[in-house]
Structures are given as structure tokens and as C-alpha cells.
Structure 1
Amino acid sequence: MIDIHSHILPGLDDGARSVEEAVAMARNAWLDGITDMIVTPHTHDGIYHNSLAQIREAVEQLQQVLSSRGIPLTLHVGAEIHIHLELVENLQTALLATLCDQYKYVLLELPSYQLPRFTDKLIEELLKKGVTPIIAHPERLEVLCNQPQLLARWIAKGAVAQVTADSLTGKMGKSTKRVSEAMVKNRLVHLLASDAHHATHRRAELSAAFSVLTELLSKEEAALFHENAKAVLRGLPCRVKEPAQAPARKWWFW
């Protein structure tokens, strides 16, 4: 399995607090069947400002530690970038990291309650530059839970979205589980990731959530989540099916 969203790099954000915790997270991931992990520390969220150069160096250092401990987990450069006006420029000047350092995908973090007015324009600009936005954990963003038609519109333009493993398994609450299942069934999410932060909670595990996917979807549709993760790793297009149509008055969540 491939995990495209994790906070395993020690000391860079609110994820792993030490090298030892990062090692424990990596061991958890490997034992769960994860072979590759894209590291995605927060950046430009008003608290953390992790540059591409910092992330590259941190990945190299942690990979060496994992190799010395006999943990065969392969790390890849990435970042969870909070939406901001200069985002495209910061990518073009190599200040910020794209996933796998390929300038093909960017993991985009949106505010939970209110979107900036430039959101649509930014997503369109990224797509025009050949960079596919991956909307991180929409099931945990109130603005998209209340207005999933916004997410459907971005998907129609070429964006994709990532659901969190703990959301599907219910570890983030019944309401979040219900919304995430609805998003899966209505084809509003295309990738599954751990969004792992620690070794004891919000762990780097995907297998239980993939089991939930197989209960919600056909075998073919569930397999797309694996295939799309491989596509992100290789810088290839994800396979995306058209989102379900919304009811006339209200969407399906509530």
C-alpha cells in the first residue's frame, strides 16, 4: 500500500515529535502493509513554513535512520500546503514541495469553515500549469460537508480528493464516518491516506480503512484507490469517475 499523506518527519510540524517516534510510526506503517509513504508536513498555514529544501533534507536524514533500523519503508518528498495567493508562484520557484518532487500533484489544505474568494481561480491555475490539486480530507471540512457541490465542481475540472483512513473506520467520530462514507459512495474522493501524526494515535495505518472501502464499493471501484495512489507516486493521471448528481434541494449528508 502507498500512503500519500503523513506527518512523520520529526520536529517539522504537529506530527512526529522525535526521531524515535518517527521510527515507531514507520514501523507501524510497514507492519500494516505500507511500502511507500509520501511525507507531507504542514506549510504556509500560519504556523509552519517548511520549504522544499528543508523537506528534502529531512527525508534524506529519516530515510537513513530507517535503513539503519532495518525498516524497509520508502519515503518520498511532499507537503500539505495551506491555500494562499502565492501558492503557484511558490511552487514554480521551488520554494514549496509537490508530491514526490515531480510537479504533478500538490496536496492542498483548505480552511474548514470559509473558503478564500480566490479558491476556484487557484485550482484552475494549478490545473493549467499541469499540477493536479489533491483536496486533503474534505470529509473533515465543514464548508465542503455543507456544500459538497463545490468539491464536485473541482473534480469535474480535474482535481481529486483524499479521504482519511480514521474517518472511514470511525475513529474520528460517527458524523465524520457517515460523511466520509457518503463521499466514497458518491465518488467525491479518489485516494485514501492515513494523515498519520503520531505512533500511538492517528497512526500510519490503511488496511482497516481499505476493508471498509471494499464493503462500500464494488471490487473494481475499491481497487481504484490503490491504483490512484500508484499513479500519484509515478506522476501519472488518476482514474476518476464522475461524481453522483446532487438532489434538487439538499445533498445526501444530513
Structure 2
Amino acid sequence: MRMIDLHCHILPGVDDGSPDMETSLKLAKIAVEQGITHMLLTPHHMDGEYLNHKADVIIKTKSFQEALDQNGIQLTVYPGQEAHITGELMQAIDQGDILFADEGNRYLMLELPHNEVPEYTNQMLFTLQARGITPVLVHPERNQGFMKNPDQLYDFVNQGCLTQLTASSYVGVFGKHVQKFTEQIIDAGLGFIFASDAHNFEGRNFKMAQAFEKLKKDKGERFVEEYKGNAKSIINGDDVIFGGIYHIHKKKKSKFWLF
């Protein structure tokens, strides 16, 4: 089955990812070596630092695809955004400035702040879903709010949200704590797809092949097929099948008695 990457930052010169075309082409070659065939380009948008308007991303994605083709790199790229949750998000959607993961405007790659889950998140998710938009919460395993209160993540998925786990998180790039939480999310049925969130050659690389290898070892081939299939369903605007979901139970710290 094709490997689709729905979250990466290799569109050149638009955010904290690839700085130029030369770097982007080298990163694209690594992606292909990983087995990635299709990629949604998701520069940061409305995160307080970067603005990547829909029209600009579409033009730059077309130019990048032409450069990929000219260099014989077998990668198909699509224009997208990593939209940050903000009070202006619905206005941006109404103004047609938001790119979705699919052409039918059904799935939205949505980023929360790393350090918290804002109080208005629940209302925002409800508003999006009332409009027929399914939020795909990106890298929840690195969100400190979800780490402190995993029940919030359960509630959002229970309400119909999807999640995108970062491949690097699952294989330990961000440390043991994040890796463990990623494993717990998967075990609880609260994960749906892997994506790379690739930024550069070193720490923020693809790791998709390694993540799927670990997933096969930990959970079996069925999970691999399910995660790859979910990514395909999202980019095609098709239904994603939900399985059983469970609460993540935080283990109590052991007491050690000193004598």
C-alpha cells in the first residue's frame, strides 16, 4: 500500500522547515527512500509567527512539483496547511483562505499550542464539526495538556475528531516520555495515522519507515494497513473507520520506603 505523508515542512522558504529549494529536493529524495509516494505540504499558518495563505501555498506547491519532476524525484505533492487553532480560524475558513487535507474540505489538519489545550478548544471543535469539517489533531503526543489530562484527548476522539501521530515520536526522537505517551495513544485506539512532520535532515526527519516497522512489531500488520489506509481515506475525503477507543490510565507513582 502507498505511503502517504499528511504533515511535513519541506515546502521551501515558507516557515521553520526547509529554507530553500536545494534543501527541499534533498529532503524529498529521503522521503522517497523511506517509501513515501504522496505528500501533503503543510506549512504553518496563523500560529502567531507564520502566515501561509491558501493562494500562495498553491502556487509554491505547483512550482515545487515542477522541480521534483525536473529532477526525476517520484513524489506527488499537494498543497495544505498546518492550521493553528485561533479565534480567527472560522473567519479564515469563511474567506476561503484555509487549505484542507482533501479537495472536499472535509479534513482539517489542526494544531494546538504545544504547552496546553486552550479552554475554547472544545467549542471550536464543535463549531468545525457542525460545519461538516473533521479536525485532525496533529501531534497530540507532544501536547503537554494531553499529557497531563489524557481524558481530554479521549473526549475529542469520542466526539469524532481524528489524530495524527508523528513518526519520530513513536521511535523515540523526542525522548522516552513522548515515545511512551505515543504508545499509550495507539494502544487506546486514539491514534489514526502516522505523518513525518519533517523539518530538516537531523532531528526532525521523516522516520516513517521506522515507525511502521515498529508498529508492525508492536501491534501487527493489521495496524500498519489501517494507519496507511486512514491516510489515504483522509486525502481522498473518504470515511475513516473508527475502532474501539479507551481511556489512557495514568499509572500512580510507586512509593519507596526508606529504612
Matched, 1:139 2:141: yes
Question: 1:183 maps to which residue?
Answer: 185
Pick the aligned partner of 2:220 from 218, 221, 233.
218
> Aligned partner of 2:210: which letter?
A
TM-score using structure 1 length: 0.94
Question: 1:239 maps to which residue?
Answer: 241
Question: 1:165 maps to which residue?
Answer: 167
Q: Residues 206 and 156 (structure 1 numbering): CA distance in 2 closer, same or farther, change over 3 Å?
A: same
Aligned-partner SS, 1:4: strand
Q: State the Cα distance separating 1:253 from its structure 2 match.
A: 9.3
List runs of 5+ in structure 2 lacking aligned partners.
254-259
Question: 1:149 maps to which residue?
Answer: 151
Give the Cα–Cα distance (whole angstroms) in 2 for the partners of residues 124 and 192 of structure 1: 24
Q: State the Cα distance separating 1:252 from its structure 2 match.
A: 5.0
Give the Cα–Cα distance (whole angstroms) in 2 for the partners of residues 227 and 129 of structure 1: 25
Q: Residues 199 and 187 (structure 1 numbering): CA distance in 2 closer, same or farther, change over 3 Å?
A: same
Matched, 1:7 2:9: yes
Structure 1 stretch displaced more, 212-221 or 156-165: 212-221
Aligned-partner SS, 1:5: strand
> Aligned partner of 2:106: which letter?
K
Question: 1:52 maps to which residue?
Answer: 54
Q: 2:165·2:182 contact (CA, 8 Å) conserved in 1?
A: yes
Question: 1:20 maps to which residue?
Answer: 22
Q: State the Cα distance separating 1:220 from its structure 2 match.
A: 2.0
Q: 1:134·1:160 contact (CA, 8 Å) conserved in 2?
A: yes
Give the Cα–Cα distance (whole angstroms) in 2 for the partners of residues 114 and 166 of structure 1: 21
Q: Residues 102 and 199 (structure 1 numbering): CA distance in 2 closer, same or farther, change over 3 Å?
A: farther
Q: Deviations over 1:42-94 (max 9, x none)?
A: 01110001110111011001000000000010001111111011212312321
Give the Cα–Cα distance (whole angstroms) in 1 for the partners of residues 222 and 46 of structure 2: 37
Give the Cα–Cα distance (whole angstroms) in 2 for the partners of residues 2 and 70 of structure 1: 19
Question: 1:43 maps to which residue?
Answer: 45
Q: State the Cα distance separating 1:233 from its structure 2 match.
A: 1.4
Q: Residues 11 and 101 (structure 1 numbering): CA distance in 2 closer, same or farther, change over 3 Å?
A: farther
Give the Cα–Cα distance (whole angstroms) in 2 for the partners of residues 226 and 164 of structure 1: 13
Aligned-partner SS, 1:35: strand
List runs of 5+ in structure 1 lacking aligned partners.
none
Q: Deviations over 1:133-184 (max 9, x none)?
A: 0111111011001111111111111100011111111111111111111111
Give the Cα–Cα distance (whole angstroms) in 2 for the partners of residues 185 and 131 of structure 1: 26
Instruction: For 1:102-141, list aligned pairs within 5 A.
Output: 102-141=104-143
Please give the root-mean-square deviation of Cα atoms over the aligned residues, in Å: 1.5
Give the Cα–Cα distance (whole angstroms) in 1 for the partners of residues 130 and 222 of structure 2: 30
> Aligned partner of 2:23: which letter?
E
> Aligned partner of 1:219: which letter?
E
Higher-Rg structure is 2
